[in-house]
Amino acid sequence: MIVADNETAVDLLYYEAVAKTVVRVVSEKSDEPLSVGVHGDWGAGKSSILMMVEQTFKDDERVLCIRFNGWLFQGFDDAKTVLIETIVEELMKSRSGSQKVIDQGKKLYRRINWMKMARKAGAYGMTVATGIPHPDTLSDLYAAATSVVKTGAEAISVDSLKSVVDSAGAYLKDAEAESTPQQMHEFRQEFETLLEVADIDRLVVLVDDLDRCLPETAIGTLEAIRLFLFVPRAAFVIAADEGMIEYCVRQHFPDLPTATGPATYARNYLEKLIQVPFRLPSLGYTETRIYVALLLVLNECGDDSDTFKKLVPIARAALQKPWIGPGLDRTSLKVAFETIPDAVERALDIAYRIAPILTDGSRGNPRQVKRFINTMALRLAIAEERGFADELNMSVLAKVMLAERFAPEVFDALARGAADTGFSDELIALESHAASDGTETVPVKANRKASSAKKAPKAKEPFQLPDWPNIEWAKRWAGIPPTLAEVDLRPYVFVSRDRRGGYGSQTPLGELDEMLGKLMGPPLQVKQITTEIKRLTSVEAEQLFDALRAKVADAEDLVEEPDGMHGLAAICQHHPFLQASLVGFFRDLPVTKVGTWVMTGWAGAITEAEAKAAYDALKSDWAEQSDNPALSAAAKAAASMGRKRGER
């Protein structure tokens, strides 16, 4: 399932706070004209906020909320008159039972038709004067003149166009008695009367996708909004990227000086038009991690599932104060779920791995995060259909996708190496350089074997770093775990051939880094820090658990017990709420590759009744499977010994 990339009323980023604030600002002074700006980059969530505002006003009969998207009308008509016409039409539709509203609306339509004719009159005059009318001009004139002169459709033909033009010209001549400023003043007066007879407290116009429009359309829409800025009870909420609107202003008014005082003319224009600006912030690490987890569960379970519905309020509670803790914590999840669903466990694990990568690379943009998740899900689905999904490591895939999107030279180096042996000299040099902090000569590991072979010795000759234009970014990228120097990259390059991806950096554990290193050590070293493990808060314990689990899962050889398992056991022993997650981790290990070490030594780490029951069930599954005979035999032997002890 791919998560749809469009606006949604399901709030996964706790933008409800912004939407409610917009609603409050609009509602507090409902008698005053108001313009509110919701600013943010493309994909920041502006359209979703407008949808939430619309949903809030939906059941309020005293408020008429109108959605307008200028991008939909681009190229078809004048943006200014389309916006005005849409507002009048929606007002008349909402009060269709009132004759006063209908009559007043007709008066405004006459003003709108004058605007259309005034705009096109010059072009029509030139066309008729030359005697070579363009078909589009005839069509536009036909429609506009018909509405102005009220002539029947049958009475107008190409042959009688001259008389129609004369009629339209006569109308325009009559209208000259009122100058353009007078026309605008009268329009505002009549529109204010329309709001009065419609008997509403607030007209709210939601203007979306303005930053997608060409400059002419964007400026035309803004000029129409300016027309309403002095009309009481009218409020406009404009969703747009400030930078794009400033660009449109500069393109539309090219002769303006660059700046006046501390601000540009384009900035002054925007600030004059928008009275109350809201700027959507970029997502931080914790917010990205929560968002990734939500998207993954949504992807796997669907938005109607109980799992997703229970997870959303927990996530929103965590998003209220994202600076506290790592995001979704298992203690809160266990309260809601009792037993954390496998889909949520998998999402937490993947989010831990790729959120650091995405936070910086996507620059906190929700759309970029969503596209990254969708791209990764699509590639995994392709790999599954082709039958090599078990050869892909999620963290490795995420790192390869980074280079693919933001460092094409790095990705090309990976692709060149993968075409031959699956390994890249440039990549090995980069990662070695990152590991040595750039203080040592960088040797190349001559790893030219199949992925199942053992590690190769280092090459004797040094290797100079490539002269890439973005070499500094490449160095930072190389330091992101996991290392790829000894990974056969052929399946990753194969599945990534569409060349799309994201960018990010590693978020360190801070003071816990030193303890993480000790937890990766032998049993005696882990035992020496028992007191420190006991003192960990639940948040710290969970952070270390996720870090250790990621390192263990990245191990090439799972036949022998990987480094870090004793650390995981110690954490789970003294922080029992993680024991169910440990069993879930065992369940996710590839049965064909795991050794018998998963069967013994976990009595002290799995003591909770629920976790023990899950572990026993898992051992029964291991005993019945046939893909790993050694594991099956060990599981059967353990079950037999357990029965004998029970008989005694």
Say which residues have a Cβ less than 8 Å from residue 174's Cβ, sequence separation at least 6: none
pLDDT at res. 628: 92
Which pLDDT band holds residue 232 (cuts at 50, 70, 90)?
Answer: confident
Backbone angles phi, psi at 38, to 5 degrees: -110, 105
Cα distances (Å, whole numbers) of residue 131 to 123, 138, 167 = 13, 12, 18
**Residue 75: which region, alpha, beta or left (left: phi > 0; alpha: psi -120 to 50)?**
left
For residue 593, which of 635, 552, 631, 636 has the smallest C-alpha distance?
A: 631
State the pairing for strand pair 34-39/234-240.
parallel
Whole-number average pLDDT of the chain: 77
Most confident by average pLDDT, 263-267, 384-388, 503-507, 563-567: 563-567
The structure tokens 């000894």 sit at 486
Calpha distance 80→210 (Å, rounded)? 13
Tokens standing for 166?
Answer: 């004369």
**329 in Cβ contact with 538 (< 8 Å):** yes
Most confident by average pLDDT, 141-150, 578-587, 636-645: 578-587
Q: What is the mean pLDDT of residues 89-98?
A: 85
DSSP 338: S
User: Does 281 sit behind a cis peptide bond, omega within 30 degrees of 0 on the bond before it?
Assistant: no
The percent of residues in the chain predicted with pLDDT above 70, rounded, is 76
For residue 545, which of 605, 600, 504 has the smallest C-alpha distance?
A: 605
Question: Could you write out the DSSP letters of every residue in 296-331?
Answer: HHHHHH-TTSHHHHHHHHHHHHHHHSTTSSSSS-HH
**579 in Cβ contact with 605 (< 8 Å):** yes
Helices (H) and strands (E) in the chain, counts: 29, 9
pLDDT at res. 59: 85
Three-state secondary structure readout of 60-92:
CCCEEEEEEEHHHHCCCCCHHHHHHHHHHHHHH
pLDDT at res. 583: 93
Tokens standing for 604?
Answer: 């002290």
CA dihedral 412, 414, 420, 421 (to 10 degrees): 170
pLDDT at res. 446: 38
Q: What is the mean pLDDT of residues 562-572?
A: 94
pLDDT at res. 172: 45
For residue 15, which of 57, 42, 44 has the smallest C-alpha distance?
A: 44
Q: What is the mean pLDDT of residues 435-462?
A: 45
Calpha distance 396→305 (Å, rounded)? 30
The structure tokens 């994909």 sit at 43
- The 8 Å CB, 24+ separation contacts for 123-128 are 124/165, 124/168, 125/165, 125/169, 128/161, 128/162, 128/165
- Report the residue count for the chain: 648
Provide the H-helix boundaries in 321-445. 330-337, 342-361, 366-386, 394-406, 408-420, 425-435
pLDDT digits over 456-506, tens only?
A: 334 434 556 666 667 777 887 888 778 888 888 888 888 876 543 333 334
Three-state secondary structure readout of 203-264:
EEEEEECHHHCCHHHHHHHHHHHHHHCCCCCEEEEEEECHHHHHHHHHHHCCCCCCEECCEE
Tokens standing for 269?
Answer: 């224009």
Which pLDDT band holds residue 3 (cuts at 50, 70, 90)?
Answer: low
Which pLDDT band holds residue 192 (cuts at 50, 70, 90)?
Answer: confident
